Amino acid sequence: MAILLTRNSKVIVQGITGTGGSFHARRMKAYGTQIVAGTSPGKGGQEVEGVPVRDTVEECVREFGANFSVIFLPARFAAEAALEAIFAGIKTVVIVPEHIPIFDMMEVRKAAIAHGTVVIGGNTAGIITPGQANVGIIPDVAFEPGRIGTVSRSGSLTYYVADTLTRTGFGETTCVGLGGDPVLGSTFDEILILFDKDPETKAVVMVGEIGGAYEERAARMLNKMSKPVICMIGGLFAPPGKRMGHAGAIVEGNIGTAQSKLEALTRAGAHHAKTFMDIPEILHRLGV
């Protein structure tokens, strides 16, 4: 099985006529993702990479039964696109662009909760369920079907973790790129709960980074998990007050440090992996 994304997910690409949207539509479709339509206001009736284009998400839901959306639009338009998808009944929305205004993402998260929609991002590489579907900008070369779920704020670290799991024979059920912006559509604890309910996922690798309190929030629910969680935290040596890559990766005072996150997670029962090769060693030790 998988979480959020399967071969049966009916995906639309919002912004499909743009350079990024068309390129990744072709790539996702080639992987086997069921891309049923795309949207671009004023260009309804066209086709891109063999995919029909409509003016609105509502048309895509009505005509093609769409239930999943990925957004390839400039940051200033991303929130409006996400809200359109949520109000049209889409159940999972992936927001790829970064630097979404904080208030915009707060509005999106509020609407998503009210309508029962899962929003991933902004600033996410996307979601991949190896062997079934790939949505976003994730290169599929490192991924193989398996039994370990992963969730990470960093796209690059998602790839490295998956490559480690693939090369050591564990493989992955679903890999979720949570996103690197300060305000995200989903949190670690919400994704961990989904993995805990998935019968094919035997353990979860969670990769956090400095900044924010998403990791600490996850620590509060780890004792409710029936499956082991391995954690890695990026930015152990990051200087305070300096943004490290992602917009959300900045330490303010004593809040959001890598050390505070590690302490909270390990105290709650997570297994700390200092290096990528620690991950398979821990999994073997746990008998996963």
Reading the block at residue 21, the tokens are 């949207």
Question: Is residue 31 packed enough to be buried (19+ CB in 10 Å), middle (13-18) or exposed (0-12)?
Answer: middle
3-state secondary structure of 24: helix
Answer yes or no: 246 catalytic.
yes
Q: How far apart are CA 65 and CA 10, in angstroms?
A: 7
**Active-site hit among 24, 99, 115, 246:** 246
Task: Kindly state the DSSP code that residue 255 receives in the 8-state scheme.
Answer: B
DSSP 153-169: S-HHHHHHHHHHHHHTT
**Helices assigned H by DSSP within 57-176:** 57-64, 75-88, 102-115, 155-167
Q: How far apart are CA 244 and CA 251, in angstroms?
A: 9
3-state secondary structure of 94: strand
- Residue 185 C-alpha from the chain's centroid: 9
CB 91 within 8 A of CB 67: yes
Q: How far apart are CA 265 and CA 106, in angstroms?
A: 26
Task: Kindly state the DSSP code that residue 270 receives in the 8-state scheme.
Answer: P
Catalytic site positions: 246
